[in-house]
Amino acid sequence: MADFVINPPPTPVIPVVGGPFDKGSAFPVRRVYCIGRNYAAHAVEMGHDPDREAPFFFQKNPENLDNSGTFPYPTQSKDVHYEAELLVALKSGGTNIKTKDALGHVWGYAPALDMTRRDLQGQAKKMGRPWEIGKAFERSAPVGPLRSVDDVGHLDAGLIELRLNGEIKQTGDMNQMIWKVPEMISYLSDYFELAAGDVIMSGTPAGVGPVQRGDEIAVTIQGLDDLIVKVT
């Protein structure tokens, strides 16, 4: 074993529920890929053409994932938005994965939020700068428990909805994704070597908007447990 010169940081994990898994089971995370504008109506609300252009991805940091049920309002922003998303967790990977083989690499699915400092992301877009300051900040990826494919099957259709303080703000069907889960895996694997522990946040339906301290966000995805997050 290496002689670490500082204590090694903890491995980021997503808790697992359902099937044969014991309480305390967890999925260790290696990388977090996120797709942009993957539901046509959301592309339009962000001022873009919903036609099927090549997909684009950005990344969050694995330790931005958070299962505490609270989201501390981040520093340096006055316009923090929710984006409800289906998270796809991989049990294996590789390069040049064919679309028809892609679902064989999926371990399971979880509800997640791609919390975004929209004001800082907007400035970065305008200036042609990277998006990390708007997307990859502390606890920017609240995530609910993961369920295995054995437990829930593959989630290629069904409700995805977000309620803010009980009011429906986002609603869509996972079958409205412009790039489907197998296509995202295949595309990413042409550019990166995917591996066990990688997760993909698969984009958000229309209806994104701001949160305030004290708000309660609830994400419902058909087949999964609700993700409830309190903004503090």
The least CB distance from residue 22 to Mn ion, in Å, is 32
The answer to whether the CB of 19 falls within 8 A of the CB of 147 is yes
Our CB check for Mn ion shows the closer of 67 and 116 to be 116
Rounded Cα distance between 227 and 216, Å, is: 10
Our CB check for Mn ion shows the closer of 38 and 67 to be 38
Our CB check for Mn ion shows the closer of 102 and 177 to be 177
Task: Report CA-CA distances (Å) from 146 to 19, 106, 110.
Answer: 11, 12, 4
The answer to whether the CB of 87 falls within 8 A of the CB of 201 is yes
Three-state secondary structure string covering 116-149: EEHHHHHHHHHHCCCCHHHHCCCCCEEECCEEEH
State which residue has the least CB distance to Mn ion: 114
Our CB check for Mn ion shows the closer of 197 and 205 to be 205
Our CB check for Mn ion shows the closer of 140 and 204 to be 204
Contacting positions for Mn ion (CB under 5 A): 83, 114, 204
Our CB check for Mn ion shows the closer of 37 and 105 to be 37
Residue with tokens 């997050």: 229
Question: Hey, what are 58's tokens?
Answer: 């950005």
The least CB distance from residue 111 to Mn ion, in Å, is 13
Rounded Cα distance between 57 and 156, Å, is: 20
Rounded Cα distance between 197 and 175, Å, is: 25
Question: Hey, what are 8's tokens?
Answer: 């090694």
The least CB distance from residue 181 to Mn ion, in Å, is 15
The least CB distance from residue 159 to Mn ion, in Å, is 18
